[in-house]
Amino acid sequence: MEIKVPRLAESISEATLVEWLKPDGSTVRTDEPVATLETDKAAVEIVADAGGVLSHARQPGDVVKVGDVLGRIAAGNGTAAPAPPAPPAAPAAPAPPAAPAAAAAPVSAQPLRSIIPAAVVPPAAAAPPAAPPAPPAVPTAPPVLAPSVRRIVEEQGLDPTRIAATGPGGRILKEDALRAASQPPAQPATPAPAEATLATPIAPTAAAAGEPGDRIVPMSRIRLRIAERLVQAQHTAAILTTFNEIDMSRVMDVRARHKEAFEKRHGVKLGFMSFFARACIQSMVDVPAVNAEIRGTDIVYHGAVHLGIAVGTPRGLVVPVVRDAQALDLAGLEREVGRLAVRARDAQLTPQELSGGTFTITNGGVFGSLLSTPILNPPQSAILGMHKIEKRPVVEGDAVVVRPMMYVALSYDHRLIDGEQAVTFLVKVKERIEDPERMLLAV
């Protein structure tokens, strides 16, 4: 049975084979994960459709397309799994004899080179020089890291090229990265450059790496995709941002009075995200263009609200989507947002959970942001930015009072949404947050 790259999502046609979870020749069970693919949106595990002996058809780091064969499963009980130890033994055998010969040859061969005819020395002298060039060819390609390994490498500031790999085919396992992170003495391995200076070709490579202390890490497919989409948004949409501020007193009071009963009843904490989600969904009734998109020369007004919630992860910003958010109450929204956030941080989101959004909310306030201008998530036409709640003096009637205030920002595609519509939408959101009863009454 062939293991093929499955259809991942409508907009995804290729992925990178990050790692094999089962070695070549090992026995696998039905539905057991055997490989990890990384797309420009998420990491996806590939499972075996049947039990048997696994054989690899592609190598980690290969870019594969939908329908490509990753490997095959044959009937049997993979007793061939112990085979991997054999390769290390093979290279070790030729090495010892070559070393003494190489050590002795340079001493005598150097002075006699001009006296002894070339025909006398060639076989013995020509063989040893052929061995040294082989090692430098190994470190040319950067190691391909699994998502779990990359996360440890980035968090601990490790150099992947200095991690001792124990996995099949020289792969760096999660255990290898954890071991390297717990061994600071591995740093003294800096004498290696001293040897490298004896060989002139290595010096330019070290200089190209940058200043001392610089760390060069290849961008992941997800990070590359984020960069691509942000630039795409700036180049394809007429982005404009409008701002307002919201008095959070009433919402904070409601939350303080009912959060314990809410959590006890629904099993999830009551946050501010669900209030803003409900306020946005109801305000879209007044300004439907906010939940629309441009397709060619047409405008598509979406009937359902598929709400994207921006989540920061060690691998970058991702935007999982809450499907049919208009049909969920506050508890349903909090539950679904919490579930997706956990899956995002554990790198378990599927491409389906990351696509199809029609409107996005991002909360920079959790990081302390006071004000920002969010960038659209194409092909969506609007995104709401929440920010830090901070006490500020405001005027009420003829008095100056202190209130917990939040700046909010709505970035929108001016090709589709006029300034009047954007301001109206933001004011409607403000009114509903400052008077939560309006959301209960849907007015």
| Token pair belonging to 355 | 């696509």
Considering only CA atoms, which of 243, 242, 271 is closest in space to residue 255?
271
**Distance (Å, whole) CA 234 – CA 212:** 35
From the candidates 266, 302, 414, 435, give the one annotated as an active-site residue.
414
318: exposed, middle or buried (Cβ count in 10 Å: 0-12, 13-18, 19+): buried
| The amino acid at 4 | K
Whole-angstrom distance, CA of residue 152 vs CA of residue 397: 55
Q: Which of 62, 68, 159, 418 is catalytic?
A: 418
Indicate if 414 belongs to the active site.
Answer: yes
Gap between the Cα atoms of 210 and 302, Å rounded: 49
Instruction: Give ∠ CA 328-329-333 in degrees, rounded to 5.
Output: 65
Catalytic residues: 414, 418
